[in-house]
Amino acid sequence: MRTLLLLSTLSAMLSAETFTGVITETMCGAKPHTMMKGGTDAECVRLCVKGPHSYALLDGASVMKLSDQKTPAQYAARKVKVTGTYDEKSKTLKVTSIEPLETN
């Protein structure tokens, strides 16, 4: 059983890819964050995920829901590098790690 778990974990790590983009959420996605008049993009993202929406990565044209919904909070509206595997069926990026690409 341990061998199977180890092989599964190793396989997931080997197939992981790197994605770059901006942390957003599934409501606005690629659209401007205009719901909060006078608020920042980061505040808008954090407010939207308190409702039924989820953190996502905008990589230019695609908006990919993130499996990790805790770590992205600190990077809301920031450019990041996400390592993980993308599940086309669920349109979800299974996150292994998230790192900022710039300092704010």
pTM of the model: 0.80
Q: What is the pLDDT of residues 10-68, one digit of tens each?
A: 555 558 999 999 999 998 887 776 666 768 889 989 988 998 999 999 998 899 999 99
- Overall fold of domain 15-100: OB fold (Dihydrolipoamide Acetyltransferase, E2P) (2.40.50)
For residue 3, the SS3 value is helix
* Domain extent listing, the chain: 15-100
Report which residue type is found at 53. H
CB 56 within 8 A of CB 92: no
List Cβ neighbours of 62 (8 Å cut-off, separation of 6 or more).
Answer: none
76-89 pLDDT, tens digit each: 999 999 999 999 99
